[in-house]
């Protein structure tokens, strides 16, 4: 059995990329040519859009992150099933992450495990650690699967809770990182979600956990700096830099697929150039 961190490393090396393309297919942001059809048959339209985005961007990335709510909110969970199986079959060198941010205990957690890893074929999933080890353990039982633990997220309101000081002097996100490193990563499954919009906190997490994979959202539409991300991370071979809306909605006209490809290529080239400069 190959640990998740090794699968991730192999994907990054093989694809010469640290870019993760986020598939967040909001209906009202689809290309103009698809919006009318989406009113008639949203499932068919969503499947067509997602597959074309993936085909167009696959040469320039090493991972795809599918946001579960974008499918379930419009009753298109079956499309997510189809797309996830299709990715695993047709793009086996890419990592598939399901962004669900699940977090519960007992039998509920076990059902979430089955949902994400069996129904949706995820190689990794995003997990909310607020309920502690009981909510993480059912996922850890799938020793070949990865977990990206929410640590210091990219949204502005994250500061209200994740930066709270504990009696030990640690901030909450630092404590989460330490527990993930020391308690949950026995089988090399654990990664952390840390936003590109908080480069100082990103540096702190990287210092605390230099060997844990990182999933870094927030570049592109949220304004995070790729340059700051590269400066804040030591080993780029276990870091995924996620970009969603700026890639998949790069254009609304008939050239939207080419625009998505071009934007993914631009971001990936920028990442690789900055990583090379940082290493030198």
Residues marked as catalytic: 101
| Closest to 256 measured CA to CA, from 49, 41, 7 | 49
Burial (CB count within 10 angstroms: exposed 0-12, middle 13-18, buried 19+), residue 22 = buried
Concatenating the DSSP letter of every residue in 156-205 gives GGGHHHHTPBPTTS-BHHHHHHHHIIIII-TTS-EEEEE-TT-HHHHHHH
Tokens of 72: 């379930």
Query: What distance in Å separates the CA atoms of residue 95 and residue 115, rounded to the nearest whole number?
Result: 18
Instruction: Give dist(CA 30, CA 16) in Å, integer.
Output: 29
Torsion region of 113: left, alpha or beta (phi above 0 gives left; psi -120 to 50 gives alpha): alpha
Cα–Cα dist 20/88, whole Å: 15
**Residue 199 · residue 13 · CB < 8 Å:** no
- Kindly tell me the burial class for residue 195, based on how many C-beta atoms sit within 10 Å of its own C-beta (0-12, 13-18, 19 or more): buried
CA distance 164 to 159: 8
* Contact present, 58 and 19 (Cβ < 8 Å): no
């Amino acid at each position: 059995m190959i640990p998740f961190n090794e699968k991730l490393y192999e994907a990054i090396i093989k694809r010469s990329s640290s870019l993760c393309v986020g598939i967040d297919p909001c209906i009202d942001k689809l290309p103009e040519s698809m919006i009318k059809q989406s009113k008639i048959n949203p499932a068919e339209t969503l499947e067509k859009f997602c597959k074309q985005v993936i085909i167009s961007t696959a040469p320039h990335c090493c991972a795809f992150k599918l946001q579960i709510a974008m499918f379930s909110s419009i009753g298109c969970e079956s499309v997510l099933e189809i797309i996830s199986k299709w990715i695993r079959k047709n793009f086996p060198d890419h990592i598939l992450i399901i962004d669900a941010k699940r977090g519960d205990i007992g039998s509920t957690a076990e059902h979430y495990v089955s949902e994400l890893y069996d129904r949706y074929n995820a190689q990794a999933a995003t997990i909310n650690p607020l309920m502690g080890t009981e909510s993480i353990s059912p996922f850890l039982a799938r020793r070949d699967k990865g977990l990206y633990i929410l640590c210091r997220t990219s949204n502005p309101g994250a500061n209200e809770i994740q930066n709270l000081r504990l009696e030990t002097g640690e901030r909450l996100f630092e404590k989460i990182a330490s527990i993930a490193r020391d308690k949950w990563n026995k089988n090399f499954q654990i990664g952390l979600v840390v936003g590109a919009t908080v480069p100082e906190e990103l540096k702190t997490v990287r210092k605390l956990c230099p060997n844990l994979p990182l999933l870094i959202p927030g570049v592109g539409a949220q304004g995070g700096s790729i340059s700051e991300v590269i400066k804040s991370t030591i080993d780029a071979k276990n870091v995924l830099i996620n970009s969603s809306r700026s890639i998949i909605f790069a254009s609304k006209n008939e050239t939207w697929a080419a625009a998505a490809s071009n934007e993914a290529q631009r971001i990936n080239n920028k990442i690789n150039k900055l990583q090379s400069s940082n290493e030198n």
